[in-house]
Amino acid sequence: MYIELTSRVGYIAGGTNIGVVRVDDAHVLLIDTGLNDTPVRKALRAIATQLDAEVSGIMTTHGHADHFGGNAFAVKRTGAMVYAPPMEDAVLRHPALQPAFLYGGADPIDSLRGRFLLADASPVDEILEDGTVNIDGVDIEVIDLRGHSPNQRGILVDGVFFCADVVFPLTALEKYRVPYLFSLTDHLKALDMAAEVACSHVVPGHGPMEAQIDGILSANRTAIEEVLACILDLSEEPVGLDDLCAGLFQRMGIVVVDAPAYYLLRPTVAAYLTHLTRIGELSHEISAYRSLWQRR
């Protein structure tokens, strides 16, 4: 169901929230399309029945399958133009890059090639540059929120802030404890950036719409601080990434039942290690054929 937030902007709630921006009486832009064709089919039906409109463009916030997995179907059905941030556009065109990144840059094992990590390829017609862009006559602010992914972007239009995965809802933080990050250093900057966005509504990539972002930002920062403290505690002696992961997951009660879960968490822990090394809290060395970190 389409939920109206302003006369021009709304969203369709789901596993991944899909933003909707009216460009005229007969056309809308989508912000993300969900994991596969199922959510975007529902979105297209809602737009046709509730708004009597069709989709002319898709703005993709970042190159994770749960945000662009419906692009291919939507483009085939509507002929919509696809807009994506630089770097992220490469993953849309070549989705196998995402599981390869998670697997350390190597050919990923087959269990990482499921639909949650490997979407159908999407065309990209134009790159979303930062600042104010005009798409189909609508002024849209593109905001740098990189960190969760290499070059994630948020979208601000008519006071509605589609903040992608810069924050996760409380339910996700409680369940997963350590949400995926590409760069903690950049993500912390993105949290600060998001806090400064003046808006009347906040629509995260997942979870309920918020009137303000402060509360959910605070919860996400607290979750990060808990992970940082645990990693530092586990690094009093030299420790490798896999041993650190095992200790962290056990200490925080994180259940890892399959390869996708593990290979989303492992590079996230590595992102924490990079940040802690960068700010001087950890040292790194190669010793006895192992890559080791230790608290300074």
Q: Are 198 and 265 in the same domain?
A: no
In this structure, what token pair is assigned to residue 37?
A: 């064709």
Q: Are 256 and 126 in the same domain?
A: no
Q: Are 159 and 50 in the same domain?
A: yes
Contact partners, residue 275, CB within 8 Å, separation at least 6: 183, 184, 185, 188
Q: How many domains does the chain have?
A: 2
pLDDT tens, the chain, 296 aa long: 999 999 999 999 999 999 999 999 999 999 999 999 999 999 999 999 999 999 999 999 999 999 999 999 999 999 999 999 999 999 999 999 999 999 999 999 999 999 899 999 999 999 999 999 999 999 999 999 999 999 999 999 999 999 999 999 999 999 889 999 999 999 999 999 999 999 999 999 999 999 999 999 999 999 999 999 999 999 999 999 999 999 999 999 999 999 999 999 999 999 999 999 999 999 999 999 999 999 99
Q: Are 149 and 208 in the same domain?
A: yes
Q: Are 129 and 107 in the same domain?
A: yes
pTM above 0.95, yes or no: yes
Please give the residue range of the domain that contains residue 141. Answer: 2-223
Q: Are 85 and 151 in the same domain?
A: yes
Contact partners, residue 76, CB within 8 Å, separation at least 6: none
Q: Are 184 and 263 in the same domain?
A: no
Q: Are 38 and 77 in the same domain?
A: yes
Q: Are 180 and 258 in the same domain?
A: no
Q: Are 192 and 80 in the same domain?
A: yes
What's the pLDDT at 180?
97
Domain of 146, CATH number, reads 3.60.15.10
Q: Are 264 and 170 in the same domain?
A: no
Domain of 263, CATH number, reads 1.10.10
Q: Are 256 and 130 in the same domain?
A: no
Q: Check: CB of residue 91 under 8 Å from CB of residue 82.
A: no
Give the domain-ending residue among 181, 197, 223: 223
Give the domain-ending residue among 187, 202, 223: 223
Give the domain-ending residue among 223, 245, 279: 223
